[in-house]
Structure 1
Amino acid sequence: MEHWLNKRAALSPNQIAIEMEDHSVTFLQLQQKSQQFARQLDNLKPNGHIAILSDNSIDMAVAFWGCTYLQTPVVFLNTRLSRSEWQQQCNDADVGLILTSSHYLEKAKHLNVSVESFLKVKKLTVNEVPLLDEIDAEKVCSMMFTSGTTGRAKAVQQTFHNHWSSAVASSLNLGLLPEDKWLVCLPLFHIGGLSILIKSVIYGMPVYLLEKFDADKVHQAIMKSAVTLISVVAVTCSRLLERLGSERYPDSFRCMLLGGGPAPKPLLEQAKAKQTPVVQTYGMTETCSQIATLNEKDALRKLGSAGKPLFTATLKIVDEKEECNPNQIGEILAKGPMVSPGYYQHKKQSNEWLRTGDLGYFDEEGFLYVVDRRSDLIISGGENIYPAEIEEVLLMMDGIVEAGVTAEEDKQWGQVPVAYIVKNDKQLTTDRIKDYCKDRLANFKVPKQIHFRDQLPRNATNKLQRHKLK
C-alpha cells in the first residue's frame, strides 16, 4: 500500500490537514515537513526505537509521520508520568532516542537515553536518504504503554493494519461527510488522540488540534470553527455541557464520542436535556481505539450503551464456562483486524480472542453495555490507574507494612485513588506518604486520601481483597 501521507498529499494537496488556533498546514505541507524531518532525523541514527514526549502540536505530528518514513516504530510517552516511569518504559521498549518539545527537554535530559528536541532536529542537515514509499501493513507503527492486571505497564504494539482497520471500521459506523472536521483535545500520546490524526490522513479530513483540553477553547471551536466531531471522556464532556449553559451547538455539529469508561447516567441525561448528541464508545489501546460505538440514530434510544461492534470487529461475552445470554454479565472478548498482535517482548497469546478483563453484557438487540472497565481498575478523568502500581510504590517506603489501593467516587474526575495502610512507624504522616508518592508517580496516581488501619482484608490464601477496603 502506498504511504498514506504520500497518497493523501497527491489526492488533496491543498486541503487543510491540521488546524490550530494560530496556524494550519495542508496535507502537502504536512508531507513535505514530515519527509524533511525524516531526512534530518537520519543524522542521529538511534540505536533502538524512537520515543516521542510532547503535548499536542504540529511538530509532534510531523515527528510521528517522519518516523513512519524511516519505518521506525514510535513509542509514545505520557507527559504526565514521572521521570522514573519514563525511564522504565524506555528500558522496556528498547528506546534509543527521545524526541521532545522544548517544554520537556530539561526534564528528559536526566534520563539514561539520548534526547533531542524537535527544534534541534529541524536544524540538522537534510540527508538525501531513500524514504519509505510503500507501507508494510504488518509492520509495527506505534507502541503505547498500558497496564496489565499486575499493574506493570506493557507496550502495546499497533501495526499499520490495526490503524487502517480501525479507521475504516469507524467510518462505516459514523459515516464520513465532506464537511467533517474532528477536534482533538485528547493527547496524541493516547490512542484516542493518535487514532484521529491517522483517520485525518486516511479520510482526507481536517483535524482541529488543541495542545490540551480547555473548555472555553473547545466551546469556541465548535461554535465558530465548523467542528463536527469531538472525542471526549466523562469529565471533559461534563465541563463542556457546563460551559454550554443555555446555548445550543450548531446543527452542523454531529456528535461527541464519549469513551474512557462507563458514562454516568446523570451526564447522559444532562446531554439529552441540552439536545447535545453524545454517543458512547468502547475501546482500548489494544484495539487501536473504538471497537464498539453507538451510532447517532440510537444515541437517545439506547442511553448508556456503547453500541454494537464495528463492522469488522467481533465481541462476545463469556462467563467461566460458556458464552453468556442476553443481559447476562460476563467478560468482554474481542477480535478483529484492529486488535493488536500483542505486547512488545511478551509472549503472544495463542488464543485469537483478546480477553479484555472488562465486564459487560449485550441486550436483546445486541447492544453492548459495559458494566466495569476492570474489577480493580480506577479511571480518573479518562486516565487508567492500576492499584497494584501504587501499592508497589507505597510498600517501598520505610514504615509501611501493608498497602491497599481502591477507587473512591469523585464528582470532578469520576474516580480517584485512595490508599489504606498498615504502618509500623508511629511518626509516619499522610503528608509524608503523599510527598513520597509525588516523587515516584504521576500526579493523577497519587492517593487523594490515606487511611491507616491495623490490618487489611485478605482471603484464605492471603490475597488482598480490595473490594473490602473501607
Structure 2
Amino acid sequence: MGEMIPNWLLQRTHLTPTRTALVFNEQTWSFQELKEIVLDYAMKLSGYSISHHSRVAILMKNRPKTVFLVHALQLVGAEIVFLNSRLTASELSYQINDSETTVLFYDLDFSTTAEDLERLCADLQSCSIEDLITSAKHIVNIHSEFDLDDISSIMYTSGTTGKPKGVQQTYGNHWWSAIGSSLNLGIQENDAWLCTVPIFHISGLSILMRSVIYGIPIFLMEEFNEEYANSLLQSGKVTIMSVVTAMLNRMLTALKDESYHENFRCMLLGGGPAPLPLLEKCAKKHIPVFQSYGMTETASQIVTLSPEDSFKKLGSAGKPLFPAQIKIVRNDGKDASALETGEIALKGPNITPGYLHHDMSVCDGWFLTGDLGYLDEDGFLYVQDRRSDLIISGGENVYPAEIEAVLMAHETVYEAGVTGINDTTWGQVAYAFIVGQNVTEEELLQFCREKLASYKIPKRIIQVKELPRNAANKLVRGKLRLLIEGRN
C-alpha cells in the first residue's frame, strides 16, 4: 500500500466550499455544488457493479457531465479508461478489449459508436450518461482517501508498432504533476484555467486534477473556438490556458491588433516544438508563452520554460519541473555532454509505473522516451524530434506504422511508407507513399477513412516505383519526403 492522501474533491470542498469550481457557458458551480452532484452520480454508479479497481471507459465530450462523472468514478475507486472520441469503433474496440473494460459510459452524440462497440466487445455493458443520471441510487462505498500508488486513469498512446499501449497513470503521477507545475508557474488567488483541449487527453485531464488540488476554477469549452477563447482571455477572468501550436495560430490571427488582459499570465504550449516566428509574434504582443515538453507517460508536461527564461531561450522546452530529472543518453548508452544530441531520458514521480501488458523502456530507473534532443550549457532542453518518426498533427500523435498497416491491408498495395510533411495549419500532416497495382488515390483515401480517425488520414497518397530502404531492408522514413520534391 502506498502513501494515503485525502480525496482531492472532498478535501477541497472541506477547505473552500464556496469557491468557484467550474464555469461552462454561463453556468457556474462551486466546489460544494460540484461535490453534491458527484456524490449523486457515485450512488448511481454502484448500480452498475462498479467498485474499487473496476475498469470503466468514458466516451464523452468536454461537458460538465464529464467532469462530474470523472470525479464520481474516482470517488468509487474505479480506473478510468479515457477514449478518444475521434477514433473509429474498430480502433476503440481494441482498447476496450486490451484493458478488459467492463462498462462504457458515453454521450448520446456517440450512440452509434457505442452500439458498434457493444457488438465488437463481448463483455461490454454500455450506458449513456443520460441513462446513468436517471438510474436509481444505491448505497456506495466512498473512497475518502486516495492511495498514491493506485491507478487513477488509463490512456492509450499509439505504439510505434501500430498497436496502441495503455499508459497507466496513478494518483501519485497526477499529484506530482500538479505540484511540479505549481512550483514552476505558482498559484495566484485569481487563477482560472481555460480548458479547450480534450479531457480524454492528459493535457485536459491534468487541468481537472489541478482545479481541485489548487482550488481554482476551470473554464470549460466543449470544443475550441478561437473567438470565444480570445474573449475570455481579454475579459480578465482567465489567467492560464493550455494550447497546441495550431490553436495558438488561430487565436493570433483572430486577435489581429488587439491584446489580452493583464491578468492573463500563462499560455502553456505543448504538443510539439513551436515555430520560432510564432513565439516571436507572441513576444511582440507580450503574450506569455511557456513552451513545454511532456507526454501521456509523464502525466502532462515534465519540462517547462520558466517565465524569466521565456525570451532568452526561445525554442527551448525549458528545464524539468522541480520533482523531475532529465538527461540525454547517447547511442552507446553513456550520458551525453552539453549540446550533444541523444535520446531524452526522464526520471520523476509523475512518470507512469508502466503500460498495460507491455514493457516500458527503462534503464537504471530512467524512462527512455525515444525522443531526440539535447541540453545546452545551462541545462535547457531542446527537443529535435518527437520520436524520430512521430508525426504531430494539430497536437495529435500520428504514428506512421499504424497508417502503413492500414494501407498494406488493401489488396492492391504491396508496400507503404508514411512520413510527416510540414504544414502551416497543423504543424505536420501525413503523406503516404505506396508501391502497388493500379489504384486511385481516392480509393485508398476512402479505404483509410473507414479504418482511421480523420486526423490520421494522409493528406496525399503517392504511388512510387520503390521505397527508400537501408542495407537491412528496413524502410528509411526520413528519405520519403525526398520522393515528393518536384511533384508539388
Same fold per superposition (TM over 0.5): yes
Aligned partner of 1:342 in structure 2 is 354
* 1:104 alignment partner, one of 107, 110, 128: 110
Q: Distance in 2 between matches of 1:109 and 1:40?
A: 22
Instruction: Return the offset for 1:349.
Output: 5.3
Contact 1:406 1:417 in 2 (8 A): yes
Residue aligning to 2:486: none
* Aligned residue type for 1:53: L
Alignment partner of 2:32 out of 23, 28, 34 = 28
The amino acid that maps onto 1:417 is A
Amino acid at match of 1:416: V
Q: Distance in 1 between matches of 2:18 and 2:157?
A: 37
Aligned partner of residue 120 in structure 1, secondary structure: helix
> 107, 122, 127: which is aligned to 1:116?
127
- What is the alpha-carbon distance in structure 1 between the residues aligned to residue 352 and residue 392 of structure 2? 22
Distance 1:46 1:226 in 2: 38
Q: Return 318-327 or 44-53, whichever deviates more.
A: 44-53
Give the superposition deviation at 1:270. 1.2
Q: Please name the residue that 1:236 is paired with.
A: 247
Post-superposition Cα deviations, 1:178-232, rounded to whole Å, max 9, x if no partner, equal 0000100100000001001100000001111101111011011111251000010
What amino acid is the match of 1:372? Answer: D
Q: Deviations over 1:258-306 (max 9, x none)?
A: 1100111111111112221111011100000010111112111111111
Q: Distance in 2 between matches of 1:224 and 1:102?
A: 33
CA shift, 1:86, in A, is 0.8
Distance 2:440 2:72 in 1: 49
Give the whole-Å Cα distance in 1 for the aligned partners of 2:479 and 2:442.
25
The answer on 1:39 being equivalent to 2:43 is yes
The partner residue of 1:179 within 190, 194, 198 is 190
**Distance (whole Å) between structure 2 residues aligned to residue 252 and residue 69 of structure 1:** 34
User: How do 1:263-412 residues align onto structure 2 when only pairs under 5 Å count?
Assistant: 263-321=274-332, 322-347=334-359, 351=363, 352-412=365-425
SS of the equivalent of 1:183 reads: strand
Q: Distance in 1 between matches of 2:140 and 2:84?
A: 31
The TM-score normalised by the length of structure 2 is 0.94
Query: Aligned-pair distance for 1:148?
Result: 2.4
Amino acid at match of 1:342: G
Residue segments in structure 2 that go unaligned for 5+ positions in a row? 484-488
Q: Which region of structure 1 is more displaced relative to structure 2, 196-205 or 360-369?
A: 360-369
Contact preservation (8 Å) 2:106, 2:126: yes
* Partners of 1:268 and 1:155 in 2: CA distance: 33
- Extract structure 1 runs of 4+ deviating beyond 4 A: none
Task: Give the aligned residue type for 1:400.
Answer: V
Check the 8 A contact 1:404/1:456 in 2, yes or no.
yes
Tell me, what secondary structure is at the counterpart of 1:276?
A: coil
Change beyond 3 A, Cα 1:429–1:468: same
Match of 2:11 in 1: 7
> Does 1:195 pair with 2:199?
no
Q: Is the 8 A contact 1:186 1:212 kept in 2?
A: yes
CA contact (8 A) 1:380 1:444 kept: yes
- The offset of 1:71, in angstroms, is 0.7
- Distance in structure 1 (CA, Å) of the matches to 2:70 and 2:192: 21
Matched residues, number: 468
Q: Deviations over 1:384-442 (max 9, x none)?
A: 00000000001111111111111111110010001100112x2x111010000000000
| SS state at 1:168 partner | helix
Which of the numbers 418, 421, 441 marks the counterpart of 1:430?
441
Distance 1:260-1:348 versus aligned 2 partners, 3 A rule:
closer
**Structure 1 CA distance for aligned equivalents of residues 89 and 269 of structure 2:** 30
Matches within 5 A, 1:240-255: 240-255=251-266
Where structure 1 has 5 or more consecutive residues not aligned to the other structure, the ranges are: none
Aligned: 1:205 with 2:211: no
**Separation in structure 2 between the aligned mates of residue 456 and residue 369 of structure 1, nearest angstrom:** 31
The 2-side partners of 1:239 and 1:12 are apart by 36
Distance between the aligned counterparts of 2:164 and 2:354, measured in 1?
A: 13
Amino acid aligned to 1:66: A
Gap change, CA 1:446 and 1:143, over 3 Å in 2: same
Equivalent in the alignment of 1:59: 65
2:162 is matched with 151
Q: 1:138 is paired with a residue of what secondary structure?
A: coil
CA–CA distance in 2 between the matches of 1:258 and 1:217?
18
Does residue 86 of structure 2 align to residue 80 of structure 1?
yes
Q: Give the match for residue 143 of structure 2.
A: 132
Alpha carbons 2:375, 2:382 under 8 Å: kept: yes
Measured against aligned partners, the alpha-carbon deviations of 1:23-82 in whole angstroms (never above 9, x if no partner) come to 121111111111211110111115951001111011001111111111110000001111
Q: Distance in 2 between matches of 1:434 and 1:137?
A: 45
Aligned-partner Cα distance in 2 for 1:130–1:283: 35
Of 163-172 and 127-136, the range deviating more from structure 2: 127-136
User: TM-score with structure 1 length normalisation?
Assistant: 0.98
Query: What SS class does the counterpart of residue 305 from structure 1 fall into?
Result: coil
| Equivalent residue number for residue 218 of structure 1 | 229
